[in-house]
Amino acid sequence: MTKQYLKPVALALAVSLALAACGKHDAADNAPAPTSTAPAPASTTAAADLGKSIFDISELGDSAQACQDFNSFVNAKWVKANPIPADQTVWGAFSVLHEKSLADQRQLVENAEKNADGAKAGSIDQKLGWLYHSSMDMDARNKAGFDPIKADLAGIDALKSNKELSTWLNQSFAKGDGAVFNFGSGADFKDAKIQIAYTEQSGLGLPTPDYYTDAKNKDVRDAYVKYLAKLFEMTGSSAADAGKQAALAMKFETDLAQHSIPRVEMRKPENQYHFATVAEANKVTPHFDWNAFFKAQGVTIDKGFSLSQPKFFAEFDKLIASAPMDEWKAYLKARTISSAAPALSEPFVDAQFDFYGKTLRGQPQQQPQWKRSLGSVNGAMGMALGELYVAKYFTPEAKARAEELVTNVRDALKTRIENLDWMSAETKTKALDKWSKFLPKIGYPKTWRNWDGLTITKDSYYANMQAASKFNYEYDIAKIGKPTDRQDWGMTPQTVNAYYNPTDNTINFPAAILQPPFFDAKADDAINYGGIGAVIGHEASHGFDDQGSQFDGDGNNLNWWTDADKKQFEARTGKLVDQFNGYAPLADHPELHVNGTLTLGENIADLGGLNIAYDALQTALKKNPTEAASKIEGYTQDQRFFLNWARVWRGDIREKAQMVYLNADPHSPMKFRAMGAPSNMPTFASAFQCKAGDAMVAPTDKQVKIW
């Protein structure tokens, strides 16, 4: 079960994102802050090693490109020499580091598998080993076929009334599966110290609602219906009946999509939170009793919960009351089969890949089984694997150095807020109060999860995944009514990413991203500040992006701006929207542009983060004049700072995958992230001697300055 409301904003789209089935594997698609602000030592590197480059300048293009197309200058040679592997849709710096993390994790799980039988009963080593083994045992999975879901499909076929339907939905959620909508815990937007229950629109098998209505997506819709029909045939329906059921399921999903809030509008907090008492919610859904639902989940609701999109739930209720039972059955069976497909036999795995991988995203080949199995382990017991990962691969020294960088970059953000020329003193006071309450978290959680109560066996992969789904669902909803734990993590340590969470005001940096090209203990300051420094600045800037700026330092959704300052902010961010609206990433489809509104939060964070990291670098260099005055292989510290920023975003993406991400991803394409922020910075133009009129120098009237 995936919580969708106000997701913590991550640095980049997960490399392993799979726009697969919904239900418990939905389509794609958490202590007081430190009081000390004393600066850490500014230099985080070994200056004595300046003569040896950490950046391979042979990868650079003609220097004349720097002021025209900085991404091509830094990355074109690498991209040409490193084509996208057949089992990937994206390939770049994130991908390479992700592959390293996977290789490290593979050693851990294969060692756990090897020793699982003799491991301590109930230990995480045994559970991880048996879970991985059961996923890798394709002979057993092929022998089982779709037997693991026959009882579920029979239960759906047996439904005869609206009352039975509601009971089935309640019980499905209680098993950790869910259908039609999402349910879970989250901080109350109006009192972030407390966790409340959230329900949110969901239930779609295609990436976004417009896939069901936009004419340009007709071919995808047709392929999706064929995919569903194939699933029905594979579970015993005749070809004719399978086609009818697929059409009914598509009709049902289209209805849900037409009453779902579009992705851009879902960026607005008011579309993510709608507090209601249970009695008020029952008026919105008179045919679906929330009292019965919460009782089935074992959850006690006090004052109320967030019925986050009332329009969607009103339609959900209408469907319960009036949609033919055959339509409901077709939809629920389609979601059940598609959700289960990755855990069933090879024909089901292949069928799902054929649609979501090949057709939707243009991926020629599936990833090898060990990677898919590792993905299952991460989905089910990711934090347990993280405990082993940190013990072997993340040193105390790396954590300490990262903490120094975080402090230095945060201090630079404070200085920039204090010196803003467009913000009033009144709003600055509120902004600095929020800054003071940031909680940085480095590497891994302070306390590891307890996995007692989760039963994993050696020989039943589907049963293991069901058990983990229920276990994790119950772990999540047990938080409802309890105080928000700011030390909670929303990413595993082995994830190559970082994120900001507006409802607890935390910036989070998993262990796996604290490696080259982001962070290197042997590198000069410019490389580290252009890499992980800019990442730190990016996450901190999310606290002041178009969404984060609507939450205060305690995580509450309230307005802390004067009207005049808010207008200034919106005028400046509007220019950034215009800038990214102008980018068209696909040469063969010049009509397809970046959605500057959908990607606004990430673009604000890139621009703010890079400016903040640059300031932090200058502070560090003032304390190390030898390094500041030195060139490394002909490049200054300022130049190397921007070079590493662009290197972080090097990469390529398949055309079909890019089309999906333009609709669904709040991150801009990589090449525009490499160039978008620097083109607004006079410090970049100065570093590379760019002139007015060069493509990498935004005209004065269009240059964006926010934080």
In this predicted structure, the answer to whether residue 9 has a pLDDT above a threshold of 90 is: no
Closest CA to 182 of 401, 473, 502: 473
Q: Tokens at residue 406, please? A: 């975080």
Q: What is the reported pLDDT for 429?
A: 98
- Do the bridges between strand 651-653 and strand 499-501 make them parallel or antiparallel, or are there none, so unpaired? unpaired
Burial of residue 376 (number of CB atoms within 10 Å: 0-12, 13-18, 19+):
buried
Distance CA 373, CA 671 (A): 31
Closest CA to 130 of 119, 145, 143: 119
In this predicted structure, the answer to whether residue 48 has a pLDDT above a threshold of 70 is: no
Q: What is the reported pLDDT for 14?
A: 62
Mean pLDDT of 290-314: 98
Q: What is the reported pLDDT for 629?
A: 86
Mean pLDDT of 286-314: 98
Cα 403 versus chain centre, distance: 23
Report domain extents, the chain. 179-343, 395-444+489-688
* CB contact set of 359 (below 8 Å; sequence gap of 6+): 220, 223, 227, 656
User: Coil, strand, or helix at residue 86?
Assistant: coil
Torsion of CA 684, 690, 691, 695, to 10 degrees: -80
Mean pLDDT of 455-473: 97
| pLDDT > 70 fraction of the chain, expressed in percent and rounded | 93
CATH topology (fold) of 395-444+489-688: Collagenase (Catalytic Domain) (3.40.390)
In this predicted structure, the answer to whether residue 1 has a pLDDT above a threshold of 90 is: no
Q: What is the reported pLDDT for 12?
A: 78
Q: Which of these ranges, 34-48, 94-108, 570-584, has the smallest mean pLDDT?
A: 34-48
Mean pLDDT of 30-46: 28
Mean pLDDT of 409-418: 97
Q: Are 368 and 87 in contact (CB under 8 A)?
A: yes
Mean pLDDT of 217-240: 98
In this predicted structure, the answer to whether residue 468 has a pLDDT above a threshold of 70 is: yes
In this predicted structure, the answer to whether residue 38 has a pLDDT above a threshold of 80 is: no
In the chain the first and final C-alpha atoms are separated, in Å, by: 36
Mean pLDDT of 42-57: 49
pLDDT greater at residue 281 or residue 397: 281
Question: What is the reported pTM?
Answer: 0.92
Q: What is the reported pLDDT for 522?
A: 86
Across the chain, mean pLDDT equals 93
Query: What tens digit of pLDDT does each residue of 188-226 get?
Result: 999 999 999 999 999 999 999 999 999 999 999 999 999
Query: What tens digit of pLDDT does each residue of 511-569 get?
Result: 999 999 999 988 999 999 999 999 999 999 999 999 999 999 999 999 999 999 999 99
Distance CA 511, CA 396 (A): 11
Give 286's DSSP letter. T
Query: What tens digit of pLDDT does each residue of 336-377 get?
Result: 999 999 999 999 999 999 999 999 999 999 999 999 999 999
CATH topology (fold) of 179-343: Neutral endopeptidase; domain 2 (1.10.1380)
Give 309's DSSP letter. -
Crossing angle of the two packed helices 534-542 and 637-648, in degrees rounded to 10: 60
Confidence tier at 8 by pLDDT (50, 70, 90): confident
In this predicted structure, the answer to whether residue 124 has a pLDDT above a threshold of 90 is: yes
